[in-house]
Amino acid sequence: MEVKPFTNQLARARLLKLNAKKPNAQAHYLLATIAEREKAFTIKPDRSDFPYRIALAMEQEGRFKKALIFINQALTLAPDNKTYKIFQTRLKTHKQ
């Protein structure tokens, strides 16, 4: 399963939908964080910390399947990273 990067328009649309139901500063922050980190990842795709940080933000948002996809990308770039492996294991324990 491939995750399509957020565009600024998509992030804004999701934010507006979330805030229409219940204004939430954290949702705003997380969507902005994910959008910016995905943009950085497309510019420097060899940096394993970018997909790792996207995965962290997605985990906080409760999007565990997508977080797992991004941590797998980070592990492809840095297969020996113990922090990434631990995080991957934690994500696999979440109910999808």
Which CATH number characterizes residue 52's domain?
Answer: 1.25.40.10
35 Rama sector, left if φ>0, alpha if ψ -120 to 50, beta otherwise? alpha
DSSP code, position 47: -
Domain range spanning residue 35? 8-93
| Residue 42 domain-assigned (yes or no) | yes
- The least confident of 3-12, 39-48, 52-61, 62-71 is 3-12
| Residue 2 domain-assigned (yes or no) | no
| Residue 3 domain-assigned (yes or no) | no
- State yes or no: pLDDT of 1 exceeds 50: no
CB atoms within 10 A of CB 7: 12
22: three-class secondary structure by DSSP:
coil
The confidence band for 84, taking pLDDT boundaries of 50, 70 and 90, is: very high
The reported pTM is: 0.62
Query: What's the total number of domains in the chain?
Result: 1
| Residue 82 domain-assigned (yes or no) | yes
